[in-house]
Amino acid sequence: MLLQVLYVSLDPAMRARIRGVASPGETKRLGRAIPRRLDWDEVRLAVMAHLVQQKFARHPRLADQLIGTYPHELQEGNRWGDVFFGVDLRTGRGCNHLGKILERVREDLILRAEVEHGRQDRRRDGHAQLILARTYAQKGLRE
């Protein structure tokens, strides 16, 4: 949430203020009170995609968990009415852009693992083998 809010405002003073916030809830409240970037509607999908890619690039355990969700559709279900990035669970309506972004990032992670380990046969039933291969590679072992 913090990084999203940082992208909302281009004002350096406001960004500094946001960095000092102690809790996610306070960050969200502050984010609602500041003026949005004028181009936010045009850039928000790219910003979210960038943030999600960075998250999984920095956290291999989370990346492995995301890979483990294949081949299921991912949905950002919520009860607070976010119908742009998610799906409102009360109504079943929403664009689910975050779910779609997660699926694209998952596909990129799987493809990257296949290329790194010479597995370009596009089989997805072996996502656990990809995780195991990454573990072996990190430890310098052979499969």
DSSP label at 36? Answer: P
Q: pTM for the full model?
A: 0.75
User: What pLDDT, in 10s, does the model give residues 31-90?
Assistant: 777 777 888 889 899 989 999 999 999 999 999 999 999 999 999 999 989 999 999 999
Average pLDDT for residues 128-140, to the nearest whole number? Answer: 54
Phi, psi (5° rounding) for residue 68?
A: -65, -10
Determine contact, residues 40/8, Cβ cutoff 8 Å.
yes
